Every structure is written in structure tokens, then in C-alpha cells.
């Protein structure tokens, strides 16, 4: 028995080292993110909008937004997309076999007529029933058989004729200048093939006529925790990864891609639960294999506001799905891992994804189980337990607070001091209960992925929609 305890102790030692190393890594990325953001803050967003808005040299953009049972928010979000400040853009909404009145609401609201518009490409997607166009707006609605998000995105890409396509969630709101900002890297560097904007939590903000008019921290604790998570992921991680050109994820809620690159890559992978992650990894792969100069960039100024789950049940569904998607994408592109042929992506980006994002929850959950059982049975000393606590929880808390401070020192979107205080408070307590629950969900997501369920279920998330005063 003692040798078993010894082995368990060794495992815990490894986990403690892992916790220190991973948190140190997060800390380094966050520090790098801080310096990058400080530099970008002064140059990005400083460009006057008017010259860009009236220029004929700006590349046209198609905004593609899949919608499945979005009757509550579809009009507001479509209107918000149509009203975006950009010289030339069209909106393509895909009604992905909704059971509710999503399509009828769109037809009534935007006076759509049945169009004979034809697809320009042939990416794989489910059967299209009909295509509708608006007489008054640059709006195309594709009504198709239910096939999932990737399927809908592919259907939309098939109808897009512009050089750039912006993949957007139909339950999200883009800020009016977000297209002018997100297109900037394409104008600055011709080798840019994809750009991601920042996703922020709309819960708690005031939404009027499809635009966020007042930014505030959400009142519910669960959504506050998610605000901290989003800040940590976007401002800390992605800024630094983008700086190293090893950004592997452009959120499906808001990303701008070169259409020819998406077509060349074969579009979004059908049945994938993380089609955004998978596509970006594939774009890296193709560009590296063909030895092309390319850039995949994250910019923190163009904002997409998204509604996050406000119930534990919905959040669990979302997080398990993300984790499953991550595991599947990693498995599919495992050949890139530690492969010097893929440069910094193979040697840093992919290992980062595997060890910190995918294996992280497993290691963390194992650490908690061993520590708690070990303390109860007595085969682990209090000293070791304390070490684990410092390595995972204390350093984790510091990183969460640092993420909120990073937001405050750079983008500063929350105007009221009380919002900052409440977010710091959330960052402090996020590591006591919420983070562990999240790790458990993600751990179970890994299991689901390993069981390789053939049927990919998205899971139904209940949305509240953008009421004038969002909750």
C-alpha cells in the first residue's frame, strides 16, 4: 500500500510542478500581452473613421451569420449588422432549419423576396430550400435544412462574392465601427489571412436599437466570472499568441477571413464542435505547408458583444462542447505537434493548446481528487496540499486579477469604478468553486470526445435576447 501512496505522491508532485509551470506560462503571456496592448492602444483606434468609410479602396465584406431558433434576437442582431459603418458590406443570414419563427420574422421585418441567387462555390453543406433577398437592404437570407453551424457557414460562404468574409454569431452584437477596425490588419499587411476581434460579455450592458449604449459589469455572479474568463483568454492569451503568429483560435462569434483562403482550405469542417479552432489550425497548416508568408492576427479593439449563459446548466453544456471540439481538432492535427516544419505553431502554439488548454482540466481535477482524498486518508502531508493550493489556486487568482487589471490599464471599457471593483472581486472568488466546477465540465468533455460519439450534439442553449435593458 505504501508504494501505491508513494506513486500517488509522485503524481501529485508532477501536478504541482505542472500548476507552477502553466501559471508561470500564463503570467509570461499576460505580461507580453500587456506590452503589446500598450503599444497597440496608441496606434489602433486612432485612425479617423471618415476617410476609411468613404474610401473606394476598402475591400468589400460579407458578414455571414448562422441562425438556429433565434427568433428573440434575430431582428436586432441583423439590423445591427446592416447598420455597421463600412463602405461596402452585405449580410448573409443562414436559417439553419429553425423550428421557431426565425425565417418568417426575417421575411416580414426586412421585406424579403424569394431570389434566384446562385452559389458561387461548392463547399459541402446541407440542402438549401430557398434564398431570400431584401429589396431595401444588402441582406441575403439562406433557408436550409438543419446541418449545424459549420454547415451553415459553408452555405453562406458559397453565396459570398466579396474578398473578405466575417463569420459572426447571430446572437451577438458588433460595435458600429468593428468592421473598420477588424479590417485594419488586412490593409496594413497583404499577407494577413484571418483576423479575430475581441468577444465581450453583453449581459449587464444596456442595449438600444441593436447597439450597446452603456457598458457595465453583469449583476449575476456566474456571468461576472465569465467576464473575467473572457478578459483572461482574450487580453492575456490571444494578444501574446497573435504577436508570435501562433494564434490558433479566432472565435466563431467574430472573425474576418480572406475568402479565397477559406475556399482553398475547404471551408469549415462539417460536424466539428470547434469549427473556428479547426479552421484556423488548418489555415496555419496550409500556409506553412505551402511555405507562404502569412499572418493570423488578433486585434483587441473591434468588439463583438455576446450573451453568455446565465445558468449553470447552460454553461456546462457550452464548456463541455468547447472541450470536445478542442480535443477533436487537436487529434485531427496531431501531426503538427512539435513538428518544426510548422515553425512556432508546431513548436509552441500546438503544445500550448495541448498541455494547457486540453490536458489542463484533467491534470487539475486529478490534483484536486488526490489532494482531498490524500488529506482525508492521510497519505498526503498538509505541506504538499498547501504547495498544490499555492501552485494552482493562489497563482490562478493572481492571474485572474491581473487579467482584470490588464483590461483597466489598456482598453478600459468599464467606466464606473464599482464595475472594476466587482470584477476584481469576481476574479478573486472565481478560483474558489467556479474554476473547479469548470475543470470538471471540461474533464467530462474530454471523456465525451474520447468516447467518440458519432452524433455531434450542439446542446440547446437558452437565450434571453437583447432586451432594452439586458440582464
Partner 1 sequence: MVAVYIGAVYWVYRASSTASEPAARLLPLATALAVVPSVLVTALGIFSIIAKSFRYIARVRDARVSPEIRETLAAVAAGDGDRQRLKWLARQHPRPFGLIFTEFLSSFGGQINTELRVLAMELGLAERWRHGARSRNFLVQKMALANLGHIGQAIDPRLLRHPLEQTRIEAGCAMLASGSKDAPAQVFKMLPDQSLLGRILLADSLRPFTTEICERYLAEGIRSADIRRARASVDLLRAWERWIPIDGFSKLVAGRDINLRLAALQGLRYASASEQEAAQEVLALLASPDERAHAPAAKAASDMGISASMPLLLNQLRTARPIPALAAARALAEMGPEGQDLLENEILTSVRPQYALQALEQSLVTERG
- Of 414 and 443, the one with the shorter C-beta distance to partner 1 is 414
Integer angstrom CA distances of residue 452 from 282, 290, 324, 354, 446:
21, 31, 9, 18, 10
Least distance from C-beta 119 to partner 1, angstroms? 7
Site for partner 1 in 194-253 (CB under 8 A): none
**Phi-psi region at 107: left, alpha or beta (left = phi > 0; alpha = psi -120 to 50):** alpha
- Of 27 and 429, the one with the shorter C-beta distance to partner 1 is 27
Number of residues that bind partner 1 (CB under 8 A): 54
Residue 12 CB partners (closer than 8 Å, separation 6+)? 367, 370, 371, 374, 380, 384, 388
Select the residue interacting with partner 1 from 14, 120, 369, 457 (CB under 8 A). 120
Residue 206 CB partners (closer than 8 Å, separation 6+)? 212, 213, 214, 216, 468, 469, 470
- Of 52 and 280, the one with the shorter C-beta distance to partner 1 is 52
Q: Do 120 and 158 contact (CB within 8 A), yes or no?
A: yes
Select the residue interacting with partner 1 from 117, 334, 453, 464 (CB under 8 A). 117
d(CA 214, CA 208): 9
Least distance from C-beta 456 to partner 1, angstroms? 30
- Of 183 and 353, the one with the shorter C-beta distance to partner 1 is 183
Integer angstrom CA distances of residue 344 from 241, 291, 324:
10, 13, 24
Residue 422 CB partners (closer than 8 Å, separation 6+)? 217, 224
- Of 3 and 42, the one with the shorter C-beta distance to partner 1 is 42
Site for partner 1 in 350-389 (CB under 8 A): 381, 383-384, 386-387
Least distance from C-beta 197 to partner 1, angstroms? 17
Site string for partner 1, 398-437 (x = CB under 8 A): x--xx-xx--xx-----xxx--xx--x-------------
Least distance from C-beta 2 to partner 1, angstroms? 15
- Of 126 and 390, the one with the shorter C-beta distance to partner 1 is 390
Least distance from C-beta 384 to partner 1, angstroms? 4
- Of 3 and 116, the one with the shorter C-beta distance to partner 1 is 116
Site for partner 1 in 3-62 (CB under 8 A): 13, 20, 27, 42-43, 46-48, 50-52, 54-58
Site for partner 1 in 85-114 (CB under 8 A): 113
Least distance from C-beta 117 to partner 1, angstroms? 5
- Of 344 and 420, the one with the shorter C-beta distance to partner 1 is 420
Binding site for partner 1 (CB under 8 A): 13, 20, 27, 42-43, 46-48, 50-52, 54-58, 113, 115-121, 133, 135, 161, 184, 187-190, 381, 383-384, 386-387, 390-391, 394-395, 398, 401-402, 404-405, 408-409, 415-417, 420-421, 424
Amino acid at each position: 500500500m505504501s508504494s501505491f501512496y508513494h506513486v500517488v505522491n509522485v503524481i501529485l508532485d508532477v501536478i504541482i510542478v505542472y500548476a507552477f509551470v502553466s501559471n508561470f506560462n500564463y503570467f509570461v503571456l499576460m505580461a507580453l500581452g500587456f506590452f503589446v496592448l500598450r503599444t497597440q492602444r496608441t496606434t489602433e483606434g486612432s485612425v479617423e473613421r471618415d476617410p476609411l468609410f468613404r474610401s473606394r479602396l476598402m475591400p468589400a465584406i460579407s458578414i455571414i451569420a448562422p441562425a438556429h431558433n433565434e427568433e428573440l434576437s434575430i431582428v436586432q442582431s441583423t439590423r445591427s449588422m446592416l447598420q455597421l459603418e463600412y463602405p461596402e458590406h452585405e449580410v448573409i443570414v443562414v436559417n439553419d432549419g429553425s423550428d421557431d419563427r426565425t425565417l418568417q420574422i426575417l421575411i416580414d421585418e426586412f421585406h424579403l423576396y424569394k431570389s434566384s441567387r446562385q452559389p458561387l462555390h461548392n463547399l459541402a453543406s446541407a440542402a438549401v430550400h430557398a434564398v431570400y433577398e431584401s429589396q431595401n437592404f444588402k441582406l441575403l437570407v439562406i433557408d436550409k435544412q438543419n446541418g449545424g453551424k459549420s454547415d451553415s457557414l459553408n452555405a453562406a460562404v458559397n453565396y459570398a462574392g466579396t474578398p473578405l468574409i466575417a463569420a459572426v454569431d447571430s446572437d451577438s452584437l458588433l460595435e458600429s465601427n468593428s468592421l473598420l477596425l477588424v479590417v485594419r490588419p488586412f490593409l496594413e499587411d497583404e499577407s494577413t489571412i484571418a483576423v479575430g476581434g475581441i468577444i465581450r460579455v453583453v449581459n449587464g450592458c444596456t442595449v438600444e436599437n441593436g447597439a450597446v449604449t452603456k457598458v457595465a459589469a453583469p449583476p449575476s455572479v456566474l456571468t461576472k466570472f465569465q467576464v473575467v474568463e473572457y478578459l483572461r483568454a482574450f487580453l492575456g492569451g490571444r494578444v501574446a499568441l497573435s504577436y508570435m503568429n501562433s494564434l490558433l483560435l479566432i472565435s466563431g462569434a467574430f472573425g474576418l477571413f480572406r475568402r479565397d483562403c477559406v475556399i482553398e482550405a475547404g471551408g469549415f469542417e462539417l460536424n466539428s464542435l470547434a469549427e473556428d479552432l479547426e479552421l484556423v489550425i488548418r489555415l496555419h497548416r496550409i500556409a506553412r505547408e505551402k511555405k507562404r508568408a502569412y499572418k493570423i492576427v488578433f486585434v483587441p479593439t473591434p468588439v463583438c458583444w455576446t450573451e453568455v449563459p446565465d445558468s449553470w446548466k447552460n454553461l456546462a453544456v457550452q464548456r463541455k462542447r468547447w472541450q470536445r471540439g478542442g480535443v477533436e481538432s487537436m487529434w485531427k492535427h496531431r501531426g503538427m505537434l512539435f513538428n518544426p516544419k510548422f515553425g512556432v505553431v508546431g513548436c509552441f502554439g500546438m503544445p500550448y493548446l495541448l498541455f494547457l488548454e486540453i490536458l489542463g482540466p484533467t491534470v487539475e481535477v486529478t490534483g484536486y481528487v488526490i489532494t482531498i482524498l490524500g488529506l482525508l486518508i492521510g497519505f498526503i502531508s498538509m505541506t504538499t496540499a498547501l504547495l498544490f493550493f499555492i501552485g494552482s489556486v493562489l497563482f490562478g487568482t493572481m492571474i485572474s486579477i491581473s487579467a482584470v487589471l490588464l483590461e483597466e490599464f489598456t482598453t478600459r471599457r468599464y467606466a464606473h469604478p464599482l464595475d472594476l471593483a466587482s470584477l476584481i472581486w469576481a476574479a478573486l472568488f472565481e478560483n474558489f468553486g467556479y474554476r473547479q466546477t469548470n475543470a470538471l465540465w471540461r474533464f467530462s468533455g474530454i471523456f465525451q470526445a474520447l468516447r467518440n460519439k458519432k452524433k455531434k450534439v450542439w446542446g440547446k442553449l437558452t437565450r434571453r435576447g437583447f432586451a432594452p435593458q439586458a440582464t
